[in-house]
Amino acid sequence: MVYTHGTWIVKPGQEDEFERRWHELAGWTISNFPGARGTLLRDLEQPGRFVSFGPWPTAGHADRWRAAPGFADRVARIRETLESFEPRTLQLVAEIS
């Protein structure tokens, strides 16, 4: 199991637009990759800082998502609202329930 993870620093005043565009990417992802899941969190102390993550069965699945037609265009639209973006692919090593 791997997780895609992003830290998004949004331009002041662009938070609502960022969220809208992130939801567009999420909707496209669900339509094209059934079973995919994603979570978006907002930092309470720094409201322009968001973190997103979602699980994938393998790194190959995450790579196919990122390479799929339509992904780059949607991320480019999100980037218009950002000061910075830090994407990661993380491997699950422990989980507590």
Q: The CATH number of the domain where 33 resides is what?
A: 3.30.70.100
Domain count for the chain, please give it. 1
* CA dist., res. 92 & res. 16, Å (int): 31
Is residue 78 in some structural domain?
A: yes
Whole-prediction pTM: 0.94
Tell me what pLDDT residue 50 has: 98
Average pLDDT, the chain: 97
Closest CA to 26 of 63, 54, 49, 59: 54
Tell me what pLDDT residue 33 has: 96
Instruction: Taking the CA atoms of 89, 84, 39 and 21 in sequence, report the sign of the dihedral they define.
Output: negative
The letter for the amino acid at 23 is H
Show the tokens assigned to 70. Answer: 């339509």
Is residue 97 in some structural domain?
A: no
At 12, the pLDDT band (50, 70, 90 cuts) reads: very high
Tell me what pLDDT residue 49 has: 98
Is residue 30 in some structural domain?
A: yes
Domain boundaries, position 23: 2-91
